[in-house]
């Protein structure tokens, strides 16, 4: 697999009473016959996510006293990046975490998401340090009515958090630079191992897929007693930032890429990717198509209409363009298939639900060729739907699809980048999930705490769920920090959580309060201690 570093498992805790609710526990017609048994638990349960890249996350779904209503959408909150110490053995700021968990539980949040990085938990070859101590610390912090915890391993260097791959993986990349992705200028990405060597023994005699499978087995064996109880789900990292994509643009630059309009670069110039491309070109008798990616895709920052490949009538829509893009996106899909198959096999019978994430690459959605999506590995253009194949792949392995951009609006983004259409992009992903009958997880792309952003999340949640008899949807808020607990922000967030729990009754603005108030927002005194504790 193209693991630069497998990301971390993520977990969800959910409270259950009566006919207990388990996250995404209902069988879906496209799932391979997978059924999850729901059990009544006397305490919160956790759903864990395993990520193969920098974005592995653990979701802890909280369960408190209330039984989840039909039509309610649970909300989870991602914990601070540094919530676990560098040894991945214990939790930091335990007092602050305990206060935070109580505040989140009072607001109606179902769980928290915690990230544990591969570069921290397996610094040395075959020496995993994922410890149960983290769970014990979490249990000590949560009290009787709060959340449970699990570690998620992340594996890529994200720049912002500054946690690289394990040293032993980086050493192998130094020995053989072609283990890492490369663009046409020879620039190497250290975020993720090239998927061109997915099944080749390039890591101390193991393939990247085998290394990731070993990490998942270690996780399963270490936390076996939590699986199906405390841990109810696992998100598998599939690429940079945990997302199924190529590192066409460095992860730490993605938040700026949407504003600058970066096209991205095709990541197919390491010897392993080139060997695959040549073989495919020779197979169809077009050897000259196998020497690399499009030579006329121009530079990262250029207007796509000024390039031969990406312009509206460019070579992306020619037989050569179709060949290359089919191969490039097909390799990514095969990579996702390999990891999902391993994960499904490893965790089969453990009563945990699996999920994977798709990148929110929206800044050229308003063009004909969608260049930034193409370089990321999504063969999605004005003439072709590139997300249906991904949704079908997730469905084959009973995976939930996770995607971001739920708070973004076309009109707002187009003031900065006229070609950006995050809202339209997300609607296409939501329709793909509906067509393929798979559950969905939503996330916010940026940390906005205003009412308008929360209202947009509600709007897009209803876009996915309207007309479905039993929509399986949850939302992960990214992320918890001291700003979340500021009085004005906390009131907005608490109102949002209540409305998500009664989303079928949501009619207009968040300011209306929704008409269903099962929980009152905690007073300022309830969370003042949390703010001070940060």
Q: Could you read off the pLDDT of 522-532 as tens digits, one per residue?
A: 554 455 455 54
Look at residue 98 in the predicted model and tell me its pLDDT.
Answer: 84
Cα–Cα distance, 152 to 141 (Å, whole number) = 18
Q: Which of 344-359 are b and which e, b meaning 16 or more Cβ less than 10 Å from the residue's Cβ?
A: bebbeebbbbbbbbbb
Q: Label residue 399 by pLDDT band (50, 70, 90).
A: very high
Tokens of 250: 């460095």
- Phi and psi (nearest 5°) for 473? -140, 140
- The token duo for 151 is 């570690």
Q: How far apart are CA 472 and CA 467, in angstroms?
A: 12
Angle separating helix axes 524-533 and 94-107, nearest 10 degrees: 150
Structural domains in the chain, CATH included, are 10-256+350-365+385-533 (3.20.20.80)
Alpha-carbon span 130 to 512, nearest angstrom: 45
Q: In degrees, to the nearest 5, what angle opens at C-alpha 171 toward C-alphas 165 and 176? A: 110
Find out whether 280 and 327 touch, Cβ atoms under 8 Å.
Answer: yes
How many other β-carbons are positioned within 10 Å of the β-carbon of residue 168? 15
**Helix or strand (DSSP H, E) at 78:** strand 75-78
Task: Collapse the DSSP code of 512 into the 3-class scheme (helix H, G, I; strand E, B; otherwise coil) and give the result.
Answer: helix
Q: Which residue has the tokens 């001291």?
A: 482
Mean pLDDT of the chain: 78
What average pLDDT does this structure show over 344-364?
92
Which is the catalytic residue, given 115, 172, 243, 265? Answer: 243
Return the bridge partners of 476, or none. Answer: 76, 443
> In the chain, what percentage of residues exceed pLDDT 70?
70
Q: For 485-503, how does the pLDDT look when each residue is reduced to its tens digit (9 = 90+)?
A: 999 999 999 999 999 988 6
Distance CA 490, CA 486 (A): 6
Round to whole Å and give the CA distance between 525 and 530.
10
Question: Are residues 393 and 450 in contact, defined by beta-carbon separation less than 8 angstroms?
Answer: no
Question: Residue 136: pLDDT band by 50, 70, 90 thresholds?
Answer: low
How far is it, in rounded angstroms, from Cα 316 to Cα 307?
11
Compute the C-alpha angle 220/222/227, nearest 5°: 50
Q: What pLDDT shows up at residue 26?
A: 30
pTM over 0.85: no
Tell me how far apart the 2 most distant CA atoms of the chain are, in Å.
72
Separation of alpha carbons 173 and 2, rounded Å: 12
Distances (CA, A) of 419 to 195, 356, 358, 424: 30, 27, 20, 11
What average pLDDT does range 249-274 have in this prediction? 83
Give which of 164, 297, 167, 241 is closest to 445, Cα–Cα.
Answer: 241
Q: What is the CA radius of gyration of the chain?
A: 22
What's the pLDDT band for 380 if we cut at 50, 70, 90?
Answer: very high
Q: Is 154 helix (H, G, I), strand (E, B) or coil?
A: strand
pLDDT band at 138 (very low <50, low <70, confident <90, very high): low
Residue 13: per-residue pLDDT:
39
Please list the alpha-helical segments (H only) found in 284-383: 319-347, 371-376
Q: Tell me how crowded residue 301 is: count the other CB atoms within 10 A of its CB.
A: 10
How far apart (Å, rounded) are the C-alpha atoms in residues 317 and 143?
59
Of residues 253, 245, 19, 222, the one with CA closest to residue 121: 222
- Residue 60 in contact with residue 105, Cβ under 8 Å? no
Distance CA 124, CA 264 (A): 33
The whole-angstrom separation of Cα 107 and Cα 352 is 26
Q: Is 443 a catalytic residue?
A: yes
Contact between 423 and 373 (Cβ < 8 Å): no
224 CB neighbour count, 10 Å cutoff: 11
Chain segment 150-189, per-residue pLDDT in tens: 334 344 333 345 678 888 999 999 999 999 999 999 999 9
Query: Which candidate in 373, 423, 441, 443 is catalytic?
Result: 443
Q: What Cα–Cα distance (Å) separates residue 384 from each residue in 49, 139, 264, 387, 427?
A: 31, 48, 20, 9, 15
335-357 mean pLDDT: 92
Highest mean pLDDT among 44-53, 68-77, 176-185: 176-185
pLDDT at 63: 38
Q: In residues, how long is the chain?
A: 534
What DSSP letter does each residue of 16-29 carry, written as one string?
--SS---TT-S--T
Tell me what pLDDT residue 140 has.
59
The count of other CB atoms within 10 Å of the CB of residue 256 is: 11
The per-residue pLDDT for range 303-327, each reduced to its tens digit, is: 899 999 999 999 999 999 999 999 9
Contact 46, 231 (CB under 8 A): yes
Sign of dihedral through CA atoms 62, 89, 48, 449? Answer: positive
Query: Average pLDDT in the 295-304 region?
Result: 79
Q: What is the pLDDT of residue 350?
A: 86
Query: Residue 222: what pLDDT?
Result: 83
Residue 69 makes CB contacts below 8 A (sequence gap 6+) with 501, 502
Lowest mean pLDDT among 268-282, 297-311, 459-473: 297-311
User: What's the mean pLDDT in 130-152?
Assistant: 51
Q: Is 516 exposed, middle or buried (CB count within 10 Å of its CB: 0-12, 13-18, 19+)?
A: middle
Would you say residue 47 has pLDDT above 60? no
Q: What are the structure tokens assigned to 418, written together?
A: 């006229």
């Amino acid at each position: 697999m193209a693991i630069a570093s497998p990301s971390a498992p993520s977990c969800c805790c959910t409270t259950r009473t009566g006919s207990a609710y388990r996250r995404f526990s209902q069988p879906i017609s496209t799932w391979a016959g997978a059924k999850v048994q729901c059990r009544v638990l006397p305490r919160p349960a956790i759903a864990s996510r395993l990520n193969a890249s920098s974005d592995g996350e653990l979701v802890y779904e909280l369960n408190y006293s209330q039984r989840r209503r039909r039509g309610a959408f649970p909300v989870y909150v991602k914990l601070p990046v540094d919530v676990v110490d560098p040894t991945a053995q214990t939790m930091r700021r335990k007092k602050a975490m305990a206060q935070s968990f109580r505040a989140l539980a009072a607001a109606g949040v179902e769980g928290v998401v915690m990230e544990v990085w591969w570069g921290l938990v397996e610094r040395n070859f075959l020496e995993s340090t994922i410890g149960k101590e983290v769970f014990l610390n979490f249990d000590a912090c949560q009290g009787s009515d709060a959340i449970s915890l699990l570690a998620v391993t992340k594996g890529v260097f994200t720049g912002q958090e500054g946690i690289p791959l394990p040293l032993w993986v980086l050493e192998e990349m130094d020995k053989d630079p072609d283990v890492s992705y490369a663009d046409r200028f020879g620039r190497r990405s250290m975020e993720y191992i090239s998927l061109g060597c997915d099944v080749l023994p390039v890591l101390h005699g193991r393939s990247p897929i085998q290394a990731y499978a070993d990490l998942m087995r270690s996780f399963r064996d270490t936390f076996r007693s939590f699986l199906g109880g405390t841990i109810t789900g696992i998100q598998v990292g599939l690429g940079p930032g945990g997302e199924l994509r190529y590192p066409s643009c460095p992860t730490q630059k993605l938040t700026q890429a949407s504003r600058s309009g970066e096209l991205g670069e095709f990541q197919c110039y390491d010897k392993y990717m080139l060997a695959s491309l040549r073989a495919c070109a020779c197979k169809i008798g077009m050897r000259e198509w196998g020497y690399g990616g499009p030579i006329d895709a121009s530079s990262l920052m250029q207007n796509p209409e000024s390039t031969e490949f990406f312009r509206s009538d460019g070579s992306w829509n020619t037989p050569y363009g179709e060949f290359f893009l089919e191969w490039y996106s097909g390799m990514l899909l095969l990579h996702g298939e390999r990891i999902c198959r391993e994960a499904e096999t490893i965790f089969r019978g453990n009563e945990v639900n699996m999920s994977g994430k798709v990148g929110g690459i929206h800044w050229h959605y308003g063009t004909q060729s969608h260049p930034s999506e193409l370089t990321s590995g999504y063969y999605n253009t004005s003439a072709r739907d590139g997300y249906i194949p991904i949704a079908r792949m997730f469905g084959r392995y009973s995976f939930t699809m996770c995607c971001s951009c739920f708070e973004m609006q076309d009109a707002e983004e187009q003031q900065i980048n006229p070609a950006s259409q995050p809202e339209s992009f997300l609607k296409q992903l939501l329709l793909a999930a509906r067509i393929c009958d798979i559950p969905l997880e939503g996330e916010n792309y940026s940390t906005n705490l205003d009412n308008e952003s929360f209202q947009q999340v509600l709007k897009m949640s209803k876009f996915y769920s309207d007309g479905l008899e039993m929509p399986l949807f949850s939302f992960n808020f990214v992320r918890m920090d001291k700003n979340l607990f500021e009085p004005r922000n906390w009131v907005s967030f608490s109102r949002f959580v209540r409305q998500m729990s009664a989303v079928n009754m949501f009619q207009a603005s968040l300011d209306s309060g929704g008409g269903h108030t099962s929980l009152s927002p905690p007073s300022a005194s309830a969370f003042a201690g949390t703010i001070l504790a940060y």
